[in-house]
Copies of this chain bind each other. A is one copy, B any other.
């Protein structure tokens, strides 16, 4: 396999180089064909690199970038005001074909705005969408949009469905079942956008559209690709994270009240920890921006080392599968 180069925004996220540099070193050890370009304030990156042993500098470059986009900065400001921001320089490396993909744990809105501006969308795509695998009773499904687009037309939902299906297929789901998230499964249910999108999807050739799905159906694993606008998707994702945390917290509390429960709890804890790790998909997997001409993966802002490494893994997989190219081909069939 030929070398894959991934540009890393080393300054993004809540922890910056302190967490990102060790994640990069682990990823290099995991994938012998991986090369990384770490973008950010060189002295800070080098300081973290100096703490690591056995760093293979032949597969790791450092690109200095003087500016950093804050986590609460407005996207428009990030776009206009910071030409030398680490996030932007990392995306520029992709545009100039010095890297195959970009991974950042930085400001989501800024990453979306800069990605669109620097890398452009694929022909036929108005807006990129964020997608991530969500655990279900039968494995996982791909949910999109996770928050890049708060207002969506039927046409946007239709484009998201196609992009989600191609991504799922590329990442190993044969003939993915596509569903639109709705408040009921009957034809009369839903808002105008959802009804129109359903109509468009029914008529699209070669798509395995199975109709509407409700929130509980998604967790039962009734579809492989679940489509909604970014407002709904983001609220679903975050409320699920919150609920999963609350439930696992309650399970822990159950096992800490009284000696009998404590004794059971001590035995059960390793099992519960495994479960807990399973249930924070966005935190652990990163979210892919679909619909751009190149690959951009957003790692969770609060991601630790393992999660950032997992986002690199996700980007690498998309590079190896050539996801944007495959998306382009399918979109040409369906949209143009």
Question: A215–B241 contact, CB under 8 A?
Answer: yes
Known A214-B238, A244-B243; judge A72-B186 contact (CB<8 A).
Answer: yes
Q: CA A217 – CA B235 in complex, angstroms?
A: 11
Nearest residue (CB) in B for A191 is: B150
**Chain B CB within 8 A of A181 CB:** yes
Known A230-B183, A234-B183, A235-B236; judge A242-B255 contact (CB<8 A).
Answer: no
Question: B243–A243 contact, CB under 8 A?
Answer: yes
**Chain B CB within 8 A of A173 CB:** no
Question: B240–A240 contact, CB under 8 A?
Answer: yes
**Chain B CB within 8 A of A319 CB:** no
In A222-272, the 8 Å CB interface with B consists of 228, 230-232, 234-251, 254-255, 260-261, 264, 267-268, 271-272
Q: How far is the CB of A285 from chain B (nearest CB, A)?
A: 17
Q: Which residues of B contact A42 (CB under 8 A)?
A: none
Q: CA A199 – CA B216 in complex, angstroms?
A: 33
Residue of B183, B218, B242, B275 touching A218 (CB-CB under 8 A): B242
Q: Which residues of B contact A57 (CB under 8 A)?
A: none
Question: B275–A247 contact, CB under 8 A?
Answer: yes
Question: A239–B254 contact, CB under 8 A?
Answer: no
**Chain B CB within 8 A of A147 CB:** yes
**Chain B CB within 8 A of A190 CB:** yes
Known A247-B275, A268-B255; judge A216-B232 contact (CB<8 A).
Answer: no
Known A183-B231, A235-B181; judge A247-B247 contact (CB<8 A).
Answer: yes
> Which residue numbers of A lie inside 8 Å of B, CB to CB?
72, 74, 135-137, 147, 150-151, 181-183, 186, 188-192, 214-220, 228, 230-232, 234-251, 254-255, 260-261, 264, 267-268, 271-272, 274-275, 278-279
Given pairs A215-B237, A231-B232, A250-B275, 17 additional interface contacts (CB within 8 A): A150-B183, A151-B191, A151-B192, A190-B231, A214-B239, A215-B235, A215-B239, A215-B241, A218-B239, A219-B243, A236-B236, A236-B239, A240-B243, A251-B251, A251-B272, A254-B272, A261-B271
The 10 A-B pairs of least Cβ separation, nearest first, read A215-B239, A216-B242, A219-B242, A215-B238, A183-B234, A254-B271, A264-B267, A216-B238, A150-B191, A219-B246
